[in-house]
Chains A and B, each alone.
Chain A
Amino acid sequence: MVHIQSIRKRVSIVFSSYLPMVPFLMFALFPFYYMVITALKKDQELYNLKAAPFWISEGLTGSHYSYLITETPYLTWFTNTVIVAVLTTLISVIIGIMAAHSLARLKFRGVDTFAVAIFITYLVPPTLLFLPLSQVVNKLGLSDSIWSLVVTYPTFLVPFSTWLLLGYFKTIPKEIEECAMIDGCSRFQTLIRIVLPAAVPGIICALLFAFTISWNEFLYSLSFISPTENKTLTVGVVAELIRGDVYYWGSLMAGAVLGSLPIVIIYVFFMDYFVSGLTAGAIK
């Protein structure tokens, strides 16, 4: 009797929980699936209007990938993107840690207003800011170089990291830091020896989010950098593989697949931290 009931229970779980997820999964994974098969499709099937677009029927090819890597500066773009993403992430999260700690712990007049003000700067859209920022970049003599991005990405990464870390630091009881100060730490030593180790999940989360945002950024990279070799992935792929009105779909998709891989791998390994980051700061 019990046996049948548990089988029934399992079947009902499949129908009520897992089955409804299938359409959503198909919706979410479809773009990636499409990218992967398009990158492997032979040209004659790709441009054949009569062929079905959802699967491969005429065999696989690696020509798009090899074209991408040998005939375009793809690897240079990849390197540029890695340099920019790593540097901007480190700069922004370090600044964010110091800002968030001060805002969470120091009591001075207007500290709450200041925290809100920092977050509001994050809300100003980059589509407005790229114009004045491109002037700043020119004045600094950084236009057409990836250093223009290293300077401008923190304008949105720092407020974002600060906000995320502020929410996280508030969940760490202040008594721990007070105890450390009685034990002999200065404020800075308290931050390094006590707060950071206790805040590791929040910091990893900030690093991951900042890296992803930086990796995917398009507008500033497009606006500030013209020479092909200096472009980042997102812009390079679009600029070089769309010539006039000709779309090199195979290589475009190959570029997209390779470009998404680092982020996908990071997500897969650090999923728990992402999820905790979404709710960190939600409960004070």
Chain B
Amino acid sequence: MADVTVKSLVKRFENVVAVNNIDLKIDDKEFIVLVGPSGCGKTTTLRVIAGLEEPNSGEIYIGDRLVNDVPPKDRNIAMVFQNYALYPHMKVYNNMAFGLKMRKMPKNEIDRRVRWGAAILGIEDLLHRKPRQLSGGQRQRVALGRAIVREPQVFLLDEPLSNLDAQLRVQMRTELKKLHSRLEATMIYVTHDQVEAMSMGDRIVVMKDGLIQQIGSPLEVYNEPVNRFVAGFIGSPSMNFVTGVVQERGSHTVVDLDTFSLKMPERSQEVGRAHLGKEITVGIRPEHIYVGENSFQGTSKSQPIEALVEVYEAMGSVVVLELSVQGNNFVAQVDPNTPARSRKSIKMYFDEDRLHLFDLRTGKVLQ
């Protein structure tokens, strides 16, 4: 069983608390992604699981085994580093064979595994080259090959695609996912790129300042963020945020923004009533803002709001607009055949059913 459990993990570096008491349960064969901004503790968590850092307190279990005092080489893990960390003085073949040699595996078994790994990653022709004779993408594959020949219980990947160019990165993302289903192994993947996280993870763990903000499937984290940070971090272009006051108008609770009001979603009406008169943060994703008379495709159409198109960005499959309404700016993602034009006024509609409501002070979803 290759599930990984992290209990009450705390890791400090001198005065800085890198990981601030986190609990995490990773299932066998799961592809889980730790994502967050720089300094959030994701790499530290990974390194503690690997055994490269000692926790100040907390427990790490791989399977049923407590591995706190087990050295990295005995944890049955393999790690892929951001800068590949290939042994510069060894050929690719020996780079891949090294871990197996250290485990005193018979020569023919080593050879079989290295050739199998090289075949999966398409690097059979590179076996006799040295790392300095390889391109970035090739080095990346060798680093992966080195990990897979070990047939470990758990793969740990520390931003392995960060050093690749954009196109190669997209290609390797798909290859990694395919590798995951082929090997049926547990993979713990660290990245700061939320697009990578969303596209690769079975589950995503969003971290900030050493704390777990939310754990869930990509769709859960996207549609139901538990706080303002997660809402703003996941999704590109990111969610729009604006401050407003909760009021009762007729039988509905609404949020009064500077120049217009928005009705709260049906499911949040009760919650709204508990916070009447309070200032809250309202969030709306760019794809839930529509511009132009007949463009609305959502659930609950708001009243029209007059807005000025400040920026028009044609992205190919969508158009991204920056719209200003009396001092507030909104980013909208709309159909390419939108009537909107730069420097022209247009009517804006919100899908009120898709509003996210957050407590102004704590950032948490309004309860």
A interface residues (Cβ-Cβ under 8 A, vs B): 173, 175-176, 178-185, 189, 194, 197-198, 200
Instruction: Name the A residues within 8 Å of B71 (CB-CB).
Output: 181
Contact A181 B52 (CB under 8 A): yes
Contact B89 A182 (CB under 8 A): no
Given contacts A197-B89, A198-B89, A184 and B102 within 8 Å (CB-CB)? yes
Compute how far the CA of A185 lies from the CA of B85 in the bound complex, rounded to whole angstroms: 15
Please report whether the interface of chain A is mostly helix, strand, loop or mixed according to DSSP. helix
Instruction: Name the B residues within 8 Å of A178 (CB-CB).
Output: 50, 52, 72, 79, 81, 85
Contact B103 A184 (CB under 8 A): yes
Instruction: Name the A residues within 8 Å of B112 (CB-CB).
Output: none
Asked if B87 is at the interface of the complex by the 8 Å CB criterion, the answer is yes
Can you list 8 A-B contacts with CB-CB less than 8 angstroms, sorted by A residue number? A175-B81, A176-B88, A178-B81, A179-B146, A182-B78, A183-B99, A184-B99, A184-B103
Given contacts A185-B102, A194-B87, A198-B89, A179 and B81 within 8 Å (CB-CB)? yes
The interface bits of chain B over 114-157 (1 if a CB of A lies within 8 angstroms of the residue's CB, else 0) are: 00000000000000000000000000000000100010000000
Compute how far the CA of A194 lies from the CA of B89 in the bound complex, rounded to whole angstroms: 8
Q: Of A173, A181, A197, which contacts B72 at CB under 8 A?
A: A181
Contact A182 B72 (CB under 8 A): yes
Asked if B83 is at the interface of the complex by the 8 Å CB criterion, the answer is yes
Compute how far the CA of A182 lies from the CA of B154 in the bound complex, rounded to whole angstroms: 12
Please report whether the interface of chain B is mostly helix, strand, loop or mixed according to DSSP. loop
Instruction: Name the A residues within 8 Å of B98 (CB-CB).
Output: 180, 183
Instruction: Name the A residues within 8 Å of B102 (CB-CB).
Output: 183-185, 189
Given contacts A197-B89, A198-B88, A198-B89, A182 and B83 within 8 Å (CB-CB)? no
Asked if B73 is at the interface of the complex by the 8 Å CB criterion, the answer is yes
Instruction: Name the A residues within 8 Å of B81 (CB-CB).
Output: 175, 178-179
The interface bits of chain B over 72-109 (1 if a CB of A lies within 8 angstroms of the residue's CB, else 0) are: 11000111011101111100000000110011000000
Instruction: Name the A residues within 8 Å of B99 (CB-CB).
Output: 182-184
Contact A182 B73 (CB under 8 A): yes
By beta carbon, the residue of chain A nearest B89 is A197
Compute how far the CA of A180 lies from the CA of B78 in the bound complex, rounded to whole angstroms: 11
Q: How far is the CB of A150 from chain B (nearest CB, A)?
A: 32
By beta carbon, the residue of chain B nearest A182 is B72
Given contacts A173-B83, A178-B52, A179-B79, A184 and B73 within 8 Å (CB-CB)? yes
Q: How far is the CB of B85 from chain A (nearest CB, A)?
A: 4
By beta carbon, the residue of chain B nearest A189 is B102
Q: Of A182, A194, A198, which contacts B79 at CB under 8 A?
A: A182
Contact B73 A183 (CB under 8 A): yes
Compute how far the CA of A182 lies from the CA of B73 in the bound complex, rounded to whole angstroms: 4
By beta carbon, the residue of chain A nearest B99 is A183
Contact B50 A182 (CB under 8 A): yes
Interface contacts beyond A183-B146, A197-B89: sample of 8 additional A-B pairs, CB < 8 Å, sorted by A: A175-B81, A175-B82, A176-B86, A178-B79, A178-B81, A180-B98, A182-B51, A194-B87
Compute how far the CA of A189 lies from the CA of B98 in the bound complex, rounded to whole angstroms: 12
Q: Of A175, A181, A185, A189, which contacts B83 at CB under 8 A?
A: A175
Q: Of A173, A181, A197, A198, which contacts B73 at CB under 8 A?
A: A181
Q: How far is the CB of B281 from chain A (nearest CB, A)?
A: 41
Given contacts A182-B72, A182-B73, A182-B78, A175 and B85 within 8 Å (CB-CB)? yes
Instruction: Name the A residues within 8 Å of B73 (CB-CB).
Output: 181-185
Compute how far the CA of A176 lies from the CA of B84 in the bound complex, rounded to whole angstroms: 8
Instruction: Name the A residues within 8 Å of B103 (CB-CB).
Output: 184
The interface bits of chain B over 284-315 (1 if a CB of A lies within 8 angstroms of the residue's CB, else 0) are: 00000000000000000000000000000000
Instruction: Name the B residues within 8 Å of A175 (CB-CB).
Output: 81-83, 85
Q: How far is the CB of A94 from chain B (nearest CB, A)?
A: 20
Compute how far the CA of A179 lies from the CA of B73 in the bound complex, rounded to whole angstroms: 9
Q: Of A179, A184, A200, which contacts B85 at CB under 8 A?
A: A179
By beta carbon, the residue of chain B nearest A175 is B85
Instruction: Name the A residues within 8 Å of B86 (CB-CB).
Output: 176
Compute how far the CA of A179 lies from the CA of B88 in the bound complex, rounded to whole angstroms: 12
Contact A176 B85 (CB under 8 A): yes
Q: How far is the CB of B257 from chain A (nearest CB, A)?
A: 49
Compute how far the CA of A175 lies from the CA of B82 in the bound complex, rounded to whole angstroms: 9
Q: How far is the CB of A204 from chain B (nearest CB, A)?
A: 14
Instruction: Name the B residues within 8 Å of A183 (CB-CB).
Output: 73, 98-99, 102, 146, 150
